[in-house]
Every structure is written in C-alpha cells, then in structure tokens.
Chain A
C-alpha cells in the first residue's frame, strides 16, 4: 500500500490530468449533443490547435496562456467555417455522411501537418514548465494546476452560455427539436456551425493548457480523443457536467490504476485497464452514462 503522500499525489495528478480530458470531451459532447454526430476530427483538431500554440510561441514568443484567446478564437473560426462550408454541405443531412466527412477532415488535417511539420515531435520550454507548488509535501506542477483551473472555468462558462443566454436557449432548442426550432425562426445551420466552432474552441483551450507539459506531433490527437470518447459516454452523451465529472473519473481511474499497477509490479499501463474497468462498470449499471438522460 503506498503511503498517504504518494496516494495524495496520485489523486491530484489524476484530477489535473482529468481536467485536460474534460476540456477535450466538453467540445465533443457539445457537438454530439446538438449535431448528434461523433466528431472524428476532434483529435486532429487538437493536434492543429497544439501546432497553433507552438507556432505562436516559437514564432512570435506568445506564451501559451496568453495565446488562449487567440487560439480559442482561431479554432472557433475554423470550426464554424468547417461546419458551414465543408461538413454541412457535404453531408446532405445524413448522419453517416457527417461521420465520413469528419473522418476525411481528420485524415486531411493529419497529413497536412505531416507535410508542414514532418513527423517530428516538438515541445516548448516555458519558464514555468518545471515550476511546482508544494501542498503538504505533494508537488503539483504549475501547468497542471493551470489546466485544472482552466477546465473548471471553461465548464462554468459553457454552462452559463447554454443555460443563461439566448444563444444557449437556441442551442438547446435545436438539440431537442430541429424542425420546431426552425419554425420558431432559429437559423439551425448557424447554430450547428456555432456549436461545432465552440466544440473546437474547447479543444483550442485544451491545447493551450496541454503544450507546456506535453508535446505535439501529427498523431498526438489520437491518444487523447479515444479517452475523450470514453469520457463523453461515461458522463452521458451531450452532458457538460457529465463531461467534466467523466474527465475527472477517467483521470483518477487512470492515475490510481497506474499507481496500483506499479505498486503490484504489473506496470504503469494498468492505468489504461483502470479506465476501461470503470467504463464497463458504468455501462453495466447506468448505460445512459453518469449524467445522461435515459432513452
């Protein structure tokens, strides 16, 4: 049994890692909730956002946290344009077409990155990359704390947007009854594009919080998006609170599973097992997810 400090450190680590997962999953769940599609381009979008953060840092010296509004706005614009000009027109209203189009966008983005940046793994070296905060003997990395704060703030902002604004009401109306919303004068295509844009903006924010302690290469999104899909299903498809809680649950399961694996001599990769054990348990006992609506 690991001592209390190690256990506390693993819990904190799981929570901070879960915050990143939650940020990525927030966008995915919004896109699913409104457009009812699984966005296969989500991982590629994360990769594109990470490269944007990298370029801003290396080219213009913009710190990743300072780049937050630029990257989120840029990713929002990219998402809006993609939905309005590519995904919407190419899908002809059929869900299976949307899946294929987003898959195509993912392949295109990854290969464009491969051409532009090669397969090279790139990192940035910020002054605070190795800074830590000592909380009762547990050293918490500053970039991870920032990610935790960012995830909470983004979830709160999205929650406010959806629950308290006219745009949010329009989004909810479109999500619930597309034709009815249209009859009420809501521009459904505009709302779709806004949702896709906001979904990618979340990914942009995640990239700003991720890069100071991680790396980017053309395939980096794959590892995160699989986890994000798990988070979305675990939390309940289309639920923001579910995405946030699901992110933390997955982060903690991974961290504690990894710690257990190391302690038992089975290897750190037991963390992956932890994620899927929790996932299977939730699907068995609450198939709609932690915060999902039944039916």
Chain B
C-alpha cells in the first residue's frame, strides 16, 4: 500500500508563507498585499465655537493634502503607508490640551494645528510632554516657537516677522507716495495675536516716522463698532491698521463705510477679512483698495493655482490662508516621514529639524528650521483690486502696482 504523503495544516501554512514571502501570487493574497500600518496624524483645529469658520477651513486644507498623498500611494519610504487623520475639535486651549492627550493615547505620530495662537500654545506644550512632533499651521504668536520645545515646527511666519515686514512695506509705499501719510491708528482684538501685533507695530512704526495716534483694543466678539469708528473719525489718522479676526474686521470696515470714514488707506496686518476671497465676494466695494500683509502663496505657482481651482470648485469654499497653510503643513510632514523612513516620533522630529523641503508653493524657499521656526517664511503684501486679491509687494512677486493712497 502506497502511503499518501500527509499534509498538515502547519506545513501548509509554512509553504504558503514561503510563497508569499517570495512574492508569489499563489500565496495568501492577504499576506502578499499586506498594507503597512497607517501613520496616524492628529489634525486639531477649532471647528466649533467662535473660530469655527477658520478652523473648518484649516481642516479642509489638511484633508485635501492627506487625500492627495494617500491617493498617490501614501508614504513610499514606509511601503506606501497611508496617512490616517485623527480629526479633533479644539475651540479653546483647554480642549486643545485634551485633544493632544487623546491623540497621544491613540498613537498619533504627529500633530498638525491648531490655528489660533492661544490654542497652539496649549497644544504644543501638551505635545512636548510626549515628544510628539507638532507642526504649527498658523498660530502667529512667537512665544509658540520661543520656549525651547524641540518638537515644535512652524512653517509660516510669526507676527514679529510679519509686523516687521509690514512696517517695511508701509514705509516703501509711503516713500513712493512722497511721504504723504504721517499718522496711524491701530484697532486690534484683545487676545494674544491682536495685542502682540499691535504692541510690535506701536514700537516699530515711530522708528520710521509714523505717529501712532491711538491703539484701540476691542473684545471678541464686538457687536458694534460705532464707538471705535467715531473715535477714528475724531482722531482722523492717515492710515487705519486693523489686526483682528474675520467677523470683527468685516464689521469694522462696514461701519467705517457707514460713517463715511475714509482714511488714505486701510492697511491691515494679518487682517482677518482683507485677504479673504469671501469678504471680497460679499463686499466688493468696501473691500476694494484694502491692503493686507498676510500669509500668501507665490502667485506664479501653478500648483497653487490648481489648488485654488480645486477649492473654489467645492460648494461654498474659499481659498484662504487657513486652507493652504494646512495643506502645505501636511505635505511638509509627509516629506519628513519620507526622509525619516520611520513613523517614530524622534525620527520625525529629527527629519523636520533638518528639513530642506522645496516642494511647496509658498514664497519661502527651501525650509530651514531654526529653533522650530522656518527661517525663510515671510508674508506678502496684497491689495484688493476689482474683486480680486493681487500681490503688490515685494516687487519681484507683484501682480499689480500698489495704489497708495487709495483713490476711493
């Protein structure tokens, strides 16, 4: 009697595994095509509460980038690992801290967020406890990157850089106009961003010959700007500089129009509505001529133009700095993952610290982080012109010549 060779389950599994390891399509398809573990990224923004509009735009930008990266095959250096977003809502610093703790528990490899400076201060601090890499998307307060936290990286400029460039650009504009503007009045919101920006402007503008006639702080939200506008009317400055969030910015300039207050220019620094296509679309007459020094993309970039078309093709969406800064922050993280060849937190931090990424469409040049701040990051100066936003300074990126003083 011929004995048939016995085939045990163990030997069958061994043979199949060997086939799979050899890349044979006859092996277990599950083994042959096993996906590497996804890389979890915490995407933390204030998507509810008073900053929800900006927070949701931030999330949109991050989501588009994550979807694009995953559709293009994920992180190649990690065998095509997909990015797995952990979307979280942080309407306050306390909520931001809690969400970072949750993301840490969930095994996040990095954090992207958290829009507002005060929230970023909390999330970066919480992330530092766990050596969790944190890419700051917007948060302009310079304290965020000045506390010696080695896990924190900011791609865009902070308010010191933005304010110093704004002062320089205002001086340039005024010089070109024959130094017609002599005085300014600053209106700012009361939190870290507005107060810090206003303080820096108050220090720097007098050095260039501008008299800072008044600095007016207001609450968030402010339901009525009539008093502030009456004060502007009384003080009669040549230039009004608002530094506040979207709703208050829009109310302020609407009330100025209502009360017939027309300074030589409205020159904003990180103005909430000035560089917003939404504001321009809703109030084209009021927005026309407003100048803003803010986060902006290289206007000659085809990639930026393509992303703008994509966003504007979505229902009720606008291409704002919240969108493109988050989009680029996710791509910066993806580049770090590629170079780190690992989703380990220390490896990502090391890769970010040595990053020289140039695949973005911002006017920054290759990334170079000095104490967590991208040294090449800089704002641009835009002016609203005929229902569009045009870069007017610096001149090598300008799409239109600045009109200052405004003719309106």
Contact = CB atoms under 8 A, between A and B. Distances in A.
Interface of A: 2-3, 6, 9-10, 13, 17, 114, 118-121, 123, 125, 129-130, 132, 139, 141, 213-215, 217-219, 223-224, 254-255, 258-259, 262-263, 265-269, 271-272
22 contacts: A10-B226, A118-B56, A119-B47, A119-B48, A119-B53, A123-B250, A123-B282, A123-B283, A125-B282, A129-B254, A130-B254, A213-B258, A217-B52, A219-B49, A223-B221, A255-B227, A262-B216, A263-B231, A267-B216, A267-B217, A268-B217, A271-B227
Contacts of A259: 227, 230-231
Interface in B348-405: none
Interface residues of B, number: 38
Name which of B56, B258, B282, B283 has the most chain A CB atoms within 10 A of its CB. B258
A6 B230 contact: yes
Name which of A2, A219, A254, A262 has the most chain B CB atoms within 10 A of its CB. A262
Contacts of B227: 10, 13, 255, 258-259, 262, 268, 271
B105 interface: no
Given A215-B251, A224-B223, A259-B227, A119 B56 contact: yes
A130 B257 CA distance: 7
Contact of B224 (A13, A114, A267): A13
B198 to A, nearest CB: 10
A210 to B, nearest CB: 9
B193 to A, nearest CB: 15
Contact of B190 (A119, A254, A267): A267
A139 B218 CA distance: 22
Contacts of A130: 254, 257-258
Question: Nearest 5 pairs between A and B by C-beta?
Answer: A119-B52, A267-B217, A269-B219, A13-B226, A268-B218
Interface string B51-68: 011011000000000000
Contacts of A118: 53, 56, 316
B50 interface: yes
Interface in B210-245: 214-219, 221-224, 226-228, 230-231, 234
A272 B219 contact: yes
Contacts of A213: 254, 258
A294 to B, nearest CB: 33
Nearest to B221: A223
Nearest to A267: B217
Contact of A141 (B258, B278, B316): B258
Interface of B: 47-50, 52-53, 55-56, 190, 214-219, 221-224, 226-228, 230-231, 234, 246-247, 250-251, 254, 257-260, 278, 282-283, 316
Contacts of B190: 267, 269
A255 B282 CA distance: 28
A166 B243 CA distance: 55
Contacts of B216: 262, 267-268
A120 to B, nearest CB: 6
A295 B386 CA distance: 63
A218 B53 CA distance: 10
A114 B217 contact: no
Contacts of B260: 132, 139
A123 B279 CA distance: 10
A268 B228 contact: yes
B185 to A, nearest CB: 11
Contacts of B246: 121
Nearest to B245: A121
A258 B246 CA distance: 21
A10 B227 CA distance: 6
Given A120-B53, A268-B217, A272-B219, 18 more contacts: A10-B227, A17-B224, A114-B52, A119-B53, A120-B56, A125-B283, A130-B254, A139-B259, A215-B250, A219-B48, A258-B227, A259-B230, A262-B228, A263-B231, A268-B218, A268-B219, A269-B218, A269-B222
B222 A268 contact: yes
A139 B258 CA distance: 8
A262 B259 CA distance: 18
Nearest to A132: B258
Given A119-B48, A121-B246, A141-B258, A9 B228 contact: no
Contacts of B49: 219
B258 A255 contact: no
Contacts of B215: 265
Nearest to B232: A262
Contacts of B53: 118-121, 217
Contacts of B282: 123, 125
Given A219-B49, A223-B221, A267-B217, A121 B247 contact: yes
A119 B258 contact: no
Contacts of A218: 52
A254 B226 CA distance: 11
Given A6-B230, A268-B216, A120 B316 contact: yes
A119 B55 contact: yes
Contacts of B224: 13, 17, 254-255
A133 to B, nearest CB: 11
